[in-house]
Chain A
């Protein structure tokens, strides 16, 4: 199980930037599809919010993956004194 935890850590580390790249591509694509000024403003606002929120979360997923890869989750703390 510990090997699996470490191996999947790599997956999470890659998944973070992949998810962000996917979102940026989608944002460019969807904003480009709109024509009128008001539609464009709304679309930029919507995608801007999505990117703003999910960027730090993707970063968090990368850090989570890094910790998993380093074996930090092989044994979880048994009491608060370990935190």
Chain B
């Protein structure tokens, strides 16, 4: 039997663990949310799109090294204990985030800037790889066995709340400083702010005690001598690692990142929604859906973890394409009739092109519709001395939705995050129960970070890549998360057990 703590003590354990984990997620996500600005600071001014691509590659590097962090820190956690290991990951994460905020730009130190940021980003990824498994294990090993799903689900809220916090801090900083100051130096504030949050969290975590189960193993001299070998060289355990990856975490990862990351990218880049509108939609969706992590976590204590997670995957497979088709249809302003237009305000800007008599005329027309929606129609025409006006293709951007459509989109994002809560709420308890105490930190961290960090973290990148193939449509990218979730659903349905292991102290 696990030695359950009194209720107020377990909430102290949860609070201390969750705060640090939340801060680590915050640190990890601000980089992605600021990729465009960071790209412009780290690379030459004329690098254009390749600056963003390289910045996104640096962002992706953080996801890719997460499984390695799981191995390094998981091993440490099983050797020296949970408390000191995830204290170390917190220091590494907070320190590297703070330093990213201090890195001079390309103008000052040249290519040393992106190289230093890449190194710090790798440290961030390694730290996160070690953090989550430690926090989930630590809470689960304190929780009463019949409420493990409920108590670990608080840890599960932290990833989404970290994203929420990062979006909120960025939006507030930008609104307070103004767009120009934010682009100049204000983008550093969310990074620098991290150090305050980390100091508070370290102070709280220092006061925590080691997990009772690990302490017991240690006092009995039963801790693992070589957790990596015992986790992956032992067939009985390794087959469970593979089952956890292919039957659960792989599908969970793509559902998580489609609902919260790809959705935002799709609204902003494919639907051309206004910067603030797309972020507010996500913020509201997260705010409404977050309590369901705890609801599904608690429910999994009664009905088992398996079917709740697999139902989340199934709903994603069925509903993703209709949801994203609705996003496209409701933001299509290409056939707006004159009777729907309330006002149309053009602003014209003309510049002379280099070494010729030709000039480029940019006409940005802000169009407001009767239902409150608006958008900007952008037209670039070349005024050629020889050929007259050479028009270019019209672009529509900065779309602001009418109130009913805005709330409809919040509902659709809410639904996607609800699916996230179904697959993610119970998964910490599920993973903890799969592995023995002495190698739990190592064994559960690897499938989690391959599933979540690699399969999930690459959703925006791979989906965008698929959508760029010849003959593809804007919805083609969804085949990646749908395919992976379907594979995981089949494997999970057939091979996973719904039985809850009550004895995690073995």
The chain A residues found within 8 Å of chain B, CB to CB, are: 1, 4-5, 8, 12, 30, 38, 42, 45-46, 49-50, 53, 57, 60-61, 63-64, 67-68, 72-73, 76-83
Stretch at the interface among B115-123, B188-196, B241-249, B280-288: B241-249
Contacts of B39-87 to chain A: CB distance below 8 A: 50, 53-54, 57, 60, 64
- Complex interface: chain B residues within 8 A of A42 (CB): 50, 53-54
Inter-chain contacts of A50 with B (CB < 8 A): 458, 462
Identify 15 new A-B residue pairs, CB closer than 8 A, beyond the known A1-B494, A4-B494. A12-B246, A12-B491, A38-B50, A46-B53, A49-B60, A50-B458, A53-B454, A60-B245, A64-B242, A64-B243, A64-B246, A79-B501, A83-B234, A83-B237, A83-B435
Secondary structure class of chain B's binding surface, majority of residues: helix
- The reply to whether A83 and B53 contact each other, CB–CB distance below 8 Å, is no
In the bound complex, CA of A54 to CA of B249 (Å)? 15
User: What residues of chain B have their CB less than 8 Å away from a CB belonging to chain A?
Assistant: 50, 53-54, 57, 60, 64, 234-237, 239-240, 242-243, 245-246, 435-437, 450, 454, 458, 461-462, 465, 469, 490-491, 494-495, 497, 499, 501, 503-504, 506
On chain B, the residues within 8 Å of A80 by CB distance are: 435-437, 501, 503-504, 506
- Whether the Cβ atoms of A60 and B506 lie closer than 8 Å is no
Task: Classify the secondary structure of A's interface with B.
Answer: helix
Q: What are the residues of chain B within 8 A of A45 when measuring CB–CB?
A: 57
For B506, give its contact among A12, A72, A81 (CB under 8 Å): A81
Whether B462 contacts A5 by the Cβ 8 Å rule is: no
Q: Which residue of A lies closest to B505 (CB)?
A: A80
B431 to chain A, nearest CB (A): 13
Tell me the bound Cα distance from A81 to B469 in angstroms. Answer: 50
- In this complex, which of B239, B435, B462, B499 has the most chain A Cβ atoms within 10 angstroms of its Cβ? B239
Chain A residue nearest to B57 (CB atoms) is A45
Taking CB atoms, residues of chain B closer than 8 Å to A82 are 236
CB distance from A49 to the nearest CB of B (A): 7
Within the complex, the shortest CB–CB distance from B466 to chain A, in Å, comes to 9
Q: How far is the CB of A75 from chain B (nearest CB, A)?
A: 9
Contacts of B234 in A (CB 8 A): 83
Which residue of chain A has the shortest Cβ distance to B466 in the bound complex?
A26
Question: From residue A8, how far is it (CB to closest CB) to chain B in Å?
Answer: 6
CB-defined A-B contacts under 8 Å, sample of 13: A12-B246, A46-B461, A50-B458, A53-B64, A53-B458, A57-B450, A57-B454, A60-B242, A61-B246, A78-B499, A79-B501, A82-B236, A83-B237
A53–B456 alpha-carbon span in the complex (Å): 13
